[in-house]
């Protein structure tokens, strides 16, 4: 493979960072429907009521995000509500850029690949759209998922579980990585005691809101209430349920959850039983399958829920270079879903994304499964070492 001269490559990296910053600046003033109907009213509520507002049930987001939103109100004399709200997610983008660098640095201790990966992340269209134009908070819980992945890759399971617990307090979508954690748990890479930390972290981070007056029942049912907000099996998510929204809600939910448990359970069982070594590349590829397969199989998913897959596919491309096209596919898939909500594109856009996503996940699972099946040569070597 022909290599670019270092000055040319370094110039391209700098250009990617500049593109990411400029596009965020351009998108910053935009006010999405979610900003107008939810985030700005929540911001105004906290600005009016102060810390005491954190003890009131005025939002369907969890308290940890509302703590950040409350802190953002202190900038009201200098920044507009839109800018203050978006800066929360943009700051998470900055941290995620560093985490992408650190994770790729594990694979490439020298050279410019880690810097290239972080620059590409900074310029990814869906990452910019999510935080800077939409004003969504997916970058925040994904920050902790990336931190969890980093710690798991460096054989620090305690820190990995703590980071996952932090992610779960921000968004229920953190569970997308649970299949990977389950595999590592059954492979005895994660001690059972560490699992108890997840509910403990949940309670501790919600405790300030409870002490300020929030009801316990509100806290422990918030994710259930979120799931029941919309009746559709797919809320513009690029999965096959987008073709099944006319099915009866309860019947469709039962069927979908049954399929999800069966398929995810089998995938976990297969990887636990596999005898091949759990290398960093293997774990990273399993993490990508986990965050891509779960929202593909689960009902009630939204258009933004493949956000972790957008990032993890970029990491996979650096760990397994032959998968260089995966982040491109996920950018297309997520972008096709995003533009329906953001730019009033026709629903056909999401349907096309769902078909493309089906093919992509089918290939991805097949590729990952192949990494867990020992080759003929490795089996022969194993037999010879036993004789």
pLDDT digits (tens, 9 = 90+) for 1-35: 345 455 557 889 999 999 999 999 999 999 999 99
Percent of the residues in the chain that have a pLDDT greater than 90, as a whole number: 82
Q: Cα–Cα distance between 89 and 93 in angstroms, integer?
A: 6
Residue 384 belongs to some domain of the structure: no
So what's the pLDDT on residue 5?
52
So what's the pLDDT on residue 1?
39
Residue 385 belongs to some domain of the structure: no
So what's the pLDDT on residue 230?
74
Residue 330 · residue 296 · CB < 8 Å = no
So what's the pLDDT on residue 219?
78
Confidence of residue 54 (pLDDT cuts 50, 70, 90): very high
So what's the pLDDT on residue 376?
41
Confidence of residue 252 (pLDDT cuts 50, 70, 90): confident
Residue 139 · residue 127 · CB < 8 Å = yes
Listed residue (92, 274, 297) closest to 178, CA to CA: 297
So what's the pLDDT on residue 8?
58
Asked whether residue 380 carries a pLDDT value surpassing 50, the answer given is: no
8-state DSSP, 255: H
Q: Return mean pLDDT, the chain.
A: 91
Extract the tokens encoding 149.
């992945």
Asked whether residue 261 carries a pLDDT value surpassing 50, the answer given is: yes
Residue 241 · residue 282 · CB < 8 Å = no
Q: Cα–Cα distance between 69 and 64 in angstroms, integer?
A: 9
Residue ranges of alpha helices (H) inside 108-176 are 113-123, 125-128, 138-153, 157-170
Extract the tokens encoding 26.
């351009």
So what's the pLDDT on residue 7?
57
Its pTM stands at 0.93
Q: Cα–Cα distance between 34 and 60 in angstroms, integer?
A: 13
pLDDT in tens, 81-136: 999 999 999 999 999 999 999 999 999 999 999 999 999 999 999 999 999 999 99
Residue 340 belongs to some domain of the structure: yes
Residue 53 belongs to some domain of the structure: yes
Q: Cα–Cα distance between 224 and 221 in angstroms, integer?
A: 5
8-state DSSP, 133: I
Residue 63 belongs to some domain of the structure: yes
Residue 381 belongs to some domain of the structure: no
**Strand, coil or helix: what is 234?**
strand
Q: Cα–Cα distance between 134 and 27 in angstroms, integer?
A: 9
pLDDT in tens, 145-186: 999 999 999 999 999 999 999 999 999 999 999 999 999 999
Residue 1 belongs to some domain of the structure: no
Beta bridge partners of 302: 235, 236
Count of domains forming the chain: 1
Confidence of residue 378 (pLDDT cuts 50, 70, 90): very low
Helices and strands: H and E segment counts in the chain: 20, 2
Query: Reduced to 3 DSSP states, what percent helix, strand and coil does the chain have, rounded to the nearest 5?
Result: 75, 0, 20
Percent of the residues in the chain that have a pLDDT greater than 70, as a whole number: 93
* Host domain of residue 18: 6-374
Using the structure block, give the residue that is written with the tokens 């919309």: 230
Residue 12 belongs to some domain of the structure: yes
Asked whether residue 231 carries a pLDDT value surpassing 80, the answer given is: no
Q: Given its phi and psi angles, is residue 237 left (phi above 0), alpha (psi -120 to 50 degrees) or beta?
A: beta
Asked whether residue 245 carries a pLDDT value surpassing 50, the answer given is: yes
So what's the pLDDT on residue 248?
61
């Amino acid at each position: 493979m022909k290599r670019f001269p270092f000055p040319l490559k370094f110039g391209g990296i700098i250009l990617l960072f500049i593109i990411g910053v400029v596009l965020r600046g351009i998108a910053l003033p935009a006010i999405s429907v979610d900003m107008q109907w939810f985030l700005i009213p929540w911001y105004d509520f906290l600005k009016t009521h102060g810390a005491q507002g954190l003890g009131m049930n005025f939002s369907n987001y969890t308290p940890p995000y509302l703590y950040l939103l409350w802190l953002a109100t202190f900038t009201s004399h200098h920044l507009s509500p839109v800018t203050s709200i978006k800066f929360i997610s943009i700051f998470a983008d900055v941290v995620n850029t560093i985490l992408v660098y650190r994770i790729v640095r594990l694979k490439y201790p020298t050279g410019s690949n880690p810097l290239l990966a972080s620059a590409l992340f900074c310029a990814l269209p869906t990452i910019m759209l999510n935080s800077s134009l939409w004003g969504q908070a997916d970058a925040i819980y994904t920050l902790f998922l990336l931190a969890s992945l980093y710690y798991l890759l460096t054989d620090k399971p305690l820190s990995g579980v703590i980071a996952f617990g932090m992610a779960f307090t921000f968004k229920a979508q953190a569970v997308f990585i649970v299949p990977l954690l389950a595999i590592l748990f059954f492979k005895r890479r994660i001690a059972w005691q560490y699992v108890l930390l997840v509910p403990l972290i949940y309670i501790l981070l919600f405790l300030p809101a409870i002490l300020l007056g929030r009801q316990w029942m509100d806290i422990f049912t918030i994710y259930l209430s979120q799931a029941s907000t919309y009746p559709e099996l797919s809320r513009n998510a690029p999965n096959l349920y987008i073709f099944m929204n006319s099915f009866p809600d309860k019947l469709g939910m039962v069927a979908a959850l049954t399929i999800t448990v069966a398929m995810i359970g089998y995938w976990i069982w297969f990887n636990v039983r596999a005898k091949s070594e759990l290398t960093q590349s293997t774990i990273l590829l399993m993490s990508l399958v986990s965050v891509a397969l779960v929202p593909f199989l689960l009902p009630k998913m939204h258009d933004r829920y493949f956000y972790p897959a957008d990032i993890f596919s970029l990491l996979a491309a650096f760990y397994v270079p032959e998968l260089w096209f995966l982040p491109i596919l996920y950018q297309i898939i997520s972008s096709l879903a995003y533009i329906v909500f953001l730019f009033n594109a026709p629903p056909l856009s999401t349907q096309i994304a769902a078909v493309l996503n089906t093919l992509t996940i089918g290939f991805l699972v097949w590729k990952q499964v192949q990494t867990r099946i020992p080759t003929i040569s490795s089996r022969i070597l194993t037999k010879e070492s036993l004789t």
